[in-house]
Amino acid sequence: MGPIDVTPLLPPSISSPPWTGRTKRIVGFLAAGAVLLAVFRLSELLPIVSVSIILAYLLTPLVNFIDNRVLAVGPLKQRSHRGIAVGFTYLVILAVVIIVILVVVPVLVAQFEEFGRRVPALLRDVEQKLEISLNEPVTFNGEPILINNEPFIPLQRLQQATGMKHVTDIINLSDFDPVRTTQSFVQSLTGPAFDVVGGALTAVINLIFLLSVMFFLMRDGAIFADRGVQLLPNSYQGDARRLLFELGQVWNAYLRGQLTLAFFMGIVVFTIATIIGMPNPIILGMISMILEFIPSIGSGLAIFPAGLLALTAQSTTVPGLQGGAFALMVVIIWAVLQNIEAYILVPRVMGGSLNLHPIAVILGIIAGANLAGVLGIILAAPTVASLRIFGQYIYGKLMDRDPFPTIVRRRNKSLFDDFSRRIRSTGVETRISPQIREWLGVRRN
């Protein structure tokens, strides 16, 4: 029997020459085209993937707290327990969901059913009053306005222009179904990713897919970001980390700030609606909270359902307050709340992270609605801000300037200076910085 060869088995060597610059460009374009084609063909998965990324990003601070504070003692101190921390996070979420289902949902369902029963009568009343108003001649200084020696009656002009006999033929508000609208809103956030299965099984598969993606993002999000940066040339890795840092600032401030504003405005609206005797205060609070996620115009839209509801209701706490006077008071209160939010709360909660003009936000909302429905509307503002960051970087490189120059902010001389300074220095940065470092793999020098 001959000697045994113990030489380690080596892999075959690469014999091809290095790629030329032209070959690299061709392969790069082909790879980018393949990625774009895959994204286009799998576009139905994008809504649920986007929701999972957002939820994982929002829950990462809780995972960090459990990982660094709760599990960093005892026998697990010297071990990696990131996955266990994610599991505990799921248990916390499950406990909160169970409490909400047992305590909040029954009250919310009862309020929603009452609101649903009230809406058809409310809309019919609005239609009748609108038709009566439009059927009256338009006057100026007590005299009717004449066109071709005939009084100008808006309803008659609409009938001549459209061929319809009644306002309800033009604007049929009675067909509005709040339950169906809510279902459409929820379905638009997940998308028909598994529409071929249908029914309850679709919801189960979507939920499993959502939780699975969230689990790996919360556990390995920083690793994904760091590996992506390492794929770039060494000279551009610092640029990539800076871009990720700037994007993290935008999305972190927007998502957490928007959640803070939504919950705060929902609670404030519920409290005020209860004090002034509005019907269905919980529903009004929920409407205000949901509309807060529409940038710039959402809080203004919340005035309309509150005003319409007050128009046909009577206050339960202020005797004799009903109809037009009640609606006018509600509109004024809601408008004051909107201005307080816009000029006091938003600058201190959001800061200058987005730095977008309202026109840019509104155009982004329109584009987002066309491209991704409800989810596109909600994410319009941070998406536009992210595009601005990329544009700022490209412009800086083209013009040989620093893409992200250091801005020295002028000290605010207002009465809220000390309050806002302490929030920025003790609250916002303390919460934001660990989150960004964890997700982006950025370490302090």
Tens-binned pLDDT, residue by residue, of the chain (445 aa): 556 655 667 778 888 888 888 898 899 899 999 988 988 887 777 888 888 888 888 888 888 888 888 887 766 666 778 888 899 999 999 998 898 888 877 877 787 777 777 777 777 776 777 777 777 777 777 777 777 777 777 777 776 666 666 655 555 555 555 555 555 555 555 554 444 444 567 778 888 888 899 999 999 888 888 998 998 889 899 999 999 998 888 888 888 888 888 999 999 999 999 999 988 888 889 889 988 888 777 888 888 888 888 877 888 888 888 878 888 999 999 999 988 888 888 877 776 667 778 788 888 888 888 887 777 888 888 889 899 999 999 999 999 888 887 654 444 444 344 444 544 444 433 334 444 445 444 444 4
Residue 322 DSSP class: B
- In this prediction the pTM is 0.67
Rounded Cα distance between 209 and 135, Å, is 56
Rounded Cα distance between 300 and 86, Å, is 38
Q: At a CB cut-off of 8 Å and minimum separation 6, what does 223 contact?
A: 441
Q: Which secondary-structure segment (H or E) carries 392?
A: helix 380-398
Rounded Cα distance between 190 and 185, Å, is 9
SS3 170: helix
Six token digits for residue 21: 């610059």
Is residue 367 within 8 Å of residue 376, measured between CB atoms?
Answer: yes
Dihedral, 220, 226, 232, 238 alpha carbons, nearest 10: 160
pLDDT value at residue 183: 54
Rounded Cα distance between 213 and 86, Å, is 12
Rounded Cα distance between 332 and 325, Å, is 11
In angstroms, the Cα distances linking 379 to 12, 213, 246, 262, 401 are 49, 19, 17, 15, 30
236 by Cβ neighbours in 10 Å (0-12 / 13-18 / 19+) ranks as exposed
